Amino acid sequence: MGLGSGSTVARLLPSMVKAMREKGVEATWVPTSLQIQAVAQELKVRVGPLTSPEIVKVVDGADQVDSRLNLIKGGGGALLKEKVLLGSARDSAIVADEKKFVERLGMGGYRVPVEVSQFARETATAMLKRKGSKDVKIRLDARGYPAYSENGNMLFDALFDPIEDPAKLEVQLKSIPGVMEVGIFVIRPLTVYKISPDGSYKALNAQT
């Protein structure tokens, strides 16, 4: 079982573990961040590395979801590991508050996270702008220092006009030398759980 990063997964994991244990089911959990690994270890579940070529299921959150169930992710800085897990999964479940749903990715000025090698800091910035980014910011931590991903790479947040073709833009940005991963996720098959304020939800499916 793969685990994404962030507050959504941290809140869900205790309930998932409890429900599985009540059914007598134990899993090996593959976390994408130290934060989620710590939560899993507190629950005394089996935590392991990604050793299987296929993950049975990944549970994760999203920062933004468009009308075709494409995602922006990476607000927590684990986008490379999250994409590896989601791309290796037999099935994926994304849980997102209804406020995160938009017609097109990037609406409302929401930026696309980009994981970049430190060596390519200047060149990647220039090339992101050539690919259509209106503005590129280096992500900073609470102290004002550059923030780094789970893999030790720099994190940029790039502003684009609302994205017409997320899959095409993902390929274009990943072709930039030094870009390790992009926070545009076009994952199939996928189930997105749209959570309402009252706690009810709607399951939305995207197939291959």
162 vs 118: CA distance, rounded Å: 28
Residue 34 has φ and ψ, to the nearest 5°, of -65, -35
Catalytic residue among 54, 82, 103, 115: 82
Closest of 43, 78, 42 to residue 60, by C-alpha: 78
Question: To 10 degrees, the CA torsion angle through 150, 179, 79, 86?
Answer: -120
- Locate 114 and state its tokens: 């980009």
Whether 150 is catalytic is no
Beta bridge partners, 69, equal: none
Catalytic center residues: 82
